[in-house]
Chains A and B, each alone.
Chain A
């Protein structure tokens, strides 16, 4: 079946640094990918929709300059957390829909900002 690979699975960084998270569709092309953030003991929050070849669509309340999204190709979307702070520590997960309408999730990235 279709696989979405997300990397890294865990990252620890210092406050003020930037962190890039990659999301790849391994055996299908994805013109759209979704980025979510999960707060402890809560449900996923959709942050943005990345679109290959055009700008990402951000959900209300999500800072575009803080969370940079680039959909570089039909198989790769990246989320960069810029100038990370401890409050950005969270679990980030991506997903990609197939042409057949299924949605596959990456395994997530646990970000810890010290």
Chain B
């Protein structure tokens, strides 16, 4: 079956540091890939997505590139802010669009 593996947290960074959260996946065919974010006390929100190989999703300074050759979708941000402190989830949807698989989540803590 499909699976998503993301790096264990928590990740603790100082403000303005560079962020990378690794995500790799196992899936048949050509899934769509997503990063979701959950801020404290809130539900899940879509952060960015990519639907085919070499696509780059971007939003709010975050980026992730769909790398089929390495089955990865690593999340990056050049300069994090305290307000970026949240839990980040990598996910994929299969070809048929009817099965959603999440990674375990990575907590990011940004200190001033």
Number of CB contacts from chain A to chain B under 8 A: 48
In the complex, how many angstroms separate the beta carbon of B58 from the nearest chain A beta carbon?
A: 15
Given A41-B32, A44-B46: A91 in contact with B98 (beta carbons within 8 A):
yes
CB pair B97–A103 under 8 Å, yes or no, is no
Tell me, yes or no, whether A93 is within 8 Å of chain B by CB.
Answer: yes
Contact residue among A46, A49, A97, A101 (Cβ-Cβ distance under 8 Å from B45): A46
Given A103-B87, A110-B98: A46 in contact with B93 (beta carbons within 8 A):
no
In the complex, how many angstroms separate the beta carbon of B18 from the nearest chain A beta carbon?
A: 23
CB pair B43–A105 under 8 Å, yes or no, is no
CB pair B100–A101 under 8 Å, yes or no, is no
Q: How far is the CA of A38 from the CA of B32 in the complex (A)?
A: 13
Residues A83-103 near B (CB distance < 8 A): 91, 93, 95, 97, 101-103
- Chain B residue numbers with a CB within 8 Å of A108 are 99-100
What is the size, in residues, of chain B's interface with A at 8 Å between Cβ atoms?
A: 22
CB pair A40–B102 under 8 Å, yes or no, is no
Given A40-B98, A41-B97, A44-B36: A102 in contact with B105 (beta carbons within 8 A):
yes
Q: How far is the CA of A49 from the CA of B89 in the complex (A)?
A: 19
Give A contacts to B, CB under 8 Å: 34, 36, 38, 40-44, 46, 49, 91, 93, 95, 97, 101-103, 105, 108, 110
**A-B CB contact pairs (8 Å), 8 listed:** A40-B98, A41-B51, A42-B97, A44-B36, A101-B40, A102-B105, A102-B107, A110-B98
